[in-house]
Amino acid sequence: MQEVKRVLQNGEHFNFVCKMCGNCCNEMLIKLTPYDIIRLSAGLNLPTHEFIPQYVLFLKLQDTGWFLPVLKHVKKGECLFKRGKKCRIHPYRPLPCRLFPVGRSEENFVLQMSLYCKGLLTGCRWNLNSWLEASEAITYLEMSKLYYDFMEEILQSYELKTISDKQYKLFFKIVYDFDGARLDLTCSGINDKTKVKYCLAMGKWFLERFSEPHLLEELSEEQFLDAYEKQGRMVLKQLIEQQ
């Protein structure tokens, strides 16, 4: 879909009202963060290990080897959550859907102007702050920054393309699949932001500890789970204290 992006200057105003046409839910690549996955799973009342296989596709970035999760589409290009012209998980929609017609480009916020969206140039007057507040995007942005900073740090410190398949799968499970990777830790009273922080901290711990393929291979499954659970309990305890 053809569109022009223009950097939103500080304090700049734009007019927008959503016409509820549903056009923006077709063929858009919706990148997900761990926070999006946790919120969407909560909205559907599914644990992340059931949500992920049904709704998420992982794209492998050729240059870095990172697995980027995106929302699955149905065959004709529509998002799986589109019902008629509406979003069936609207209160839990991921960050790119919240921000639209605002988007991100590197460090900037941009206005995405496209022929398929007739909502721009009409309706209410917004600036960036009022738009972020109205779309309840602030926490999503905070969690997105945490995730992308983590990704940058990992990519600078580890050559992901060289780690074994077993490590690779475990690392991404720990980062994206909170419920599937948390074993039997008691997680009552833990909020969604803390869940993301836990996933990222455990992902980092995993690579620090097992960055050499043989380190993981030498452990029995039981020994690995033991170390993972011990570390998980400690990290969770610290994070809950900071909540």
- Give the list of residues 6+ apart from residue 88 with CB closer than 8 angstroms, or none: 81, 82
| Chain residues that interact with ligand SF4, rule: CB under 6 A | 18-25, 28, 30, 79, 81-82, 87, 89, 93, 97, 100-101, 116-119
Q: How far apart are CB 17 and ligand SF4 at their closest, in Å?
A: 8
Give kind and range of the element (H or E) at residue 208.
Answer: helix 192-210
- Smallest CA-to-CA distance from 124 within 16, 25, 215 is with 16
Q: How far apart are CB 92 and ligand SF4 at their closest, in Å?
A: 8
- The SS3 of residue 43 is helix
In the complex with ligand SF4, the residue whose CB is nearer, 82 or 209, is 82
In the complex with ligand SF4, the residue whose CB is nearer, 29 or 234, is 29
For 60, 106, 160, 211, the CA distances from 63, given in Å and listed in that order, are: 9, 18, 10, 19
Beta strands in 76-123 (DSSP E): 82-83, 86-87, 102-105, 108-114
Q: How far apart are CB 28 and ligand SF4 at their closest, in Å?
A: 6
Q: How far apart are CB 61 and ligand SF4 at their closest, in Å?
A: 21
